[in-house]
Amino acid sequence: MTSKKYIATPTKTNKILQKYDFAFKKSLGQNFLVDVNILDQIIYHAGINHTTGVIEIGPGIGALTEQLALQANQVVALEIDQRLIPILDDTLADYDNVRIVHEDVLKADLRKIIHHYFKEEQTIQIVANLPYYITTPILMKLLREDLPISKITVMIQKEVAERMAAKPHTKSYGSLTIAVQYYTEADIVMSVPKTVFMPQPNVESSVLQLTKREKPLVDVQNEAFFFEIVQASFAQRRKTLSNNLTTKFKGILTKERINHVLDMIKIDGSRRGETLTIEEFAILANAFYKEIFV
């Protein structure tokens, strides 16, 4: 098979779109990849091989799916757009290791899908060109459900990728950074130009890789409370930690009590949220949890 026959070229993509009289839906964030080299690089960074099981989210007309099928053991692609199901059945007809599931990933029972389509103990990864408008809800669902997935390699908006992979003391660092890095190691593995998409998006893109940790990065007394504290600390970025926490605990703890707790754990209340490491946020959350609930 030569690259000219692959789905991921402008000519082939246009032919498929014309054949099915397919019109892009802006509401579904549809931007199809038309460059095989970019797809090869994504798969190379993911480290897919003939034993890997892959879940793809939003396959479109099957450009990435096809390249994954050539490398992986099994590919299960979740597509929300009913109009694309017959197209995918056609474009991927040659690949017997691909299954198309017509479901919304945000509503899908992913554990059940994994159990149904993949072998037990099989290494499973997620590789996808995600719809940019719902990137964060999708990734947070994947992380919070604690699925048997080793790695997530996704094309997303560059700005969101930078926020997820950010370090303290940077503009991009915030509650989203901590939510992602609590569960995974986050790395931006490549930048992707607008020109490899059809239609071209208005934003720059990056490929983000999330490698799942064996256990969360820090030990916290209560996960939900930990994330509440993190969000409160970034509620108004220009405000100090002490002021943000005073707003958060209004009617529960006085400012004096808040500052007393901060003094006890040796975290300066005049710092801003963006200067705290995840480890410091864990200390902070555990101290206030003990103060309020224990």
Q: How remote is the C-alpha of 144 from its chain's centroid?
A: 11
Check whether 110 is labelled as a binding-site residue.
Answer: no
Looking only at the bridges linking them, the beta strands covering 151-157 and 205-212 are antiparallel
Check whether 73 is labelled as a binding-site residue.
Answer: no
42 vs 214: CA distance, rounded Å: 24
49 vs 185: CA distance, rounded Å: 21
Check whether 58 is labelled as a binding-site residue.
Answer: yes
198 vs 30: CA distance, rounded Å: 9
Neighbours of 128 (CB within 10 A): 27
Check whether 37 is labelled as a binding-site residue.
Answer: no
- Extended beta strands in the chain, E state: 32-33, 53-57, 74-78, 98-101, 124-129, 151-157, 184-192, 197-198, 205-212
91 vs 202: CA distance, rounded Å: 27
48 vs 152: CA distance, rounded Å: 11
> Dihedral, CA atoms, 208, 214, 217, 222, nearest 10 degrees?
120
Q: List residues bridging with 190 in a β-sheet.
A: 207
Check whether 243 is labelled as a binding-site residue.
Answer: no
Check whether 129 is labelled as a binding-site residue.
Answer: yes
Which residues belong to the annotated binding site? 31, 33, 58, 79, 104, 129
Feature table: binding site for S-adenosyl-L-methionine: 31, 33, 58, 79, 104, 129
